[in-house]
Amino acid sequence: MKFNRAELSYFLSLLAVGSMLGLWFVAPMLSLALMGLGLGYGSLVWTQGLTIALVVLVLGAVWKQQGALVPAAIASGREKRFRLGSVLTGLANLAVGLALLGSVVGYLLHREFFLAAGFVIAGALMLSVPLNILGILCIETSRQRP
């Protein structure tokens, strides 16, 4: 398994977008199924965690099987698209990282900052998801197909 910055950035982007889509579509169906089995409302929290864990497992399995998530071969003439996708995913991950770091530092400096930290992190996530989607599309369309 190759491990470099591009792979990590692409993995985090796929994780963010995959988790969002999983929480929109898979988690509600899983919640209904578990509630139908009589597990009650406590299953709602578990289904969110299970959905994100499922996304991580699928991404890890694909990464392990292919040896890489980022395309090894880029079609000629599509290098700019690949670079743009890498920049977009990097910016999205940087925004989330800075929001997390700012929230931790803000909390350490002023204990009541935890009230605003959720809004800071949510705002960064709302910015990062469209950037991640565009970045993933740019990277995937630059891939050389056999």
Same domain as 49, residue 103 = no
Same domain as 64, residue 11 = yes
Same domain as 33, residue 93 = no
Q: Residue 132 in contact with residue 88, Cβ under 8 Å?
A: yes
Single out the residue in 69, 100, 122 at which a domain terminates. 69
Same domain as 94, residue 75 = yes
pLDDT tens for each residue of 74-86: 777 888 888 999 9
Same domain as 127, residue 112 = yes
Single out the residue in 69, 92, 124 at which a domain terminates. 69
- Count of the separate structural domains present in the chain: 2
**Can you give the residue range of the structural domain that contains 34?**
1-69
What DSSP string runs through 32-50? HHHHHTT--TTHHHHHHHH
Single out the residue in 50, 69, 88 at which a domain terminates. 69
**Angle, alpha carbons 43-129-53 (nearest 5°):** 35
Same domain as 79, residue 49 = no
Same domain as 28, residue 11 = yes
User: Reduced to 3 states, what is the DSSP secondary structure of residue 74?
Assistant: strand
pLDDT tens for each residue of 20-51: 998 899 888 888 888 777 777 777 778 888 89
Query: Percent helix, strand, coil in the chain (nearest 5)?
Result: 80, 0, 15
pLDDT at 114 over 50: yes
Model confidence pTM above 0.75: yes
| Mean pLDDT over the full length of the chain | 86
